[in-house]
Amino acid sequence: MLELLLKLLDRWIDIKKSSQDVDRAFFADFVAPAIADFEAVHKDYLDSFRRYRDEIQNGKYDLDSFNPVFSMINQDSRSSRDLRLKLFELEKEHSLTAMGGLIRSIMEYLQLAFSETLEISPNVGRALFTQRLETVFERSSPRDRKKDALALIDDTVDGFQDRCQRVLHQQALLKKKLLGPT
């Protein structure tokens, strides 16, 4: 009887170790690369918006729809599209259901959470910002344009930072679930 219990215990330990190995591999093969891709997108946004802020703060051009910041936004969107597309692919991969909360938070970061009927734009964040900046340039008084545009940039960056925090929180929860407390 004791021998049978010891065999069962050994088998249970083997299964537990195997499960932990699978979880570690899943984290290394899927979660860690997804977070690395996410961090690259986030860094790109922060660097870009820092440049937009500098252009508006120090630029020598009128604050209107012809301002070079709009060309900068378009160029940044085109040159970083591949970074975001890697993240969009996560949502399509149904085998990654264990990453559900993390993927959802990444899609929310990209501002796609509630736009299922909307065709996925390659860059919702910059598209929304562009529309809002055009509105500021059109509706703000000439005296307030710079201040309003800078406030819009700061609010946009704050939004990215808040959503980034939610992604990192989901990553921490998933890491704890898969790898245990560290």
Segment 145-161 shows an average pLDDT of 95
Q: What is the total count of domains within the chain?
A: 1
Give residue 115's domain range. Answer: 2-179
Could you say which DSSP state residue 64 is in? S
So what's the pLDDT on residue 114?
Answer: 43
Cα(93)–Cα(87) distance, rounded to whole angstroms?
A: 11
pLDDT at 111: 78
What letters, b where the CB count within 10 A reaches 16 and e where it falls short, cover 123-156? bebbeebbebbeebbeebeeeebeebbeebbeeb
Q: Model's pTM, two decimal places?
A: 0.82
| 37-66 pLDDT per residue, tens | 999 999 999 999 999 999 999 989 999 999
pLDDT at 94 over 80: no
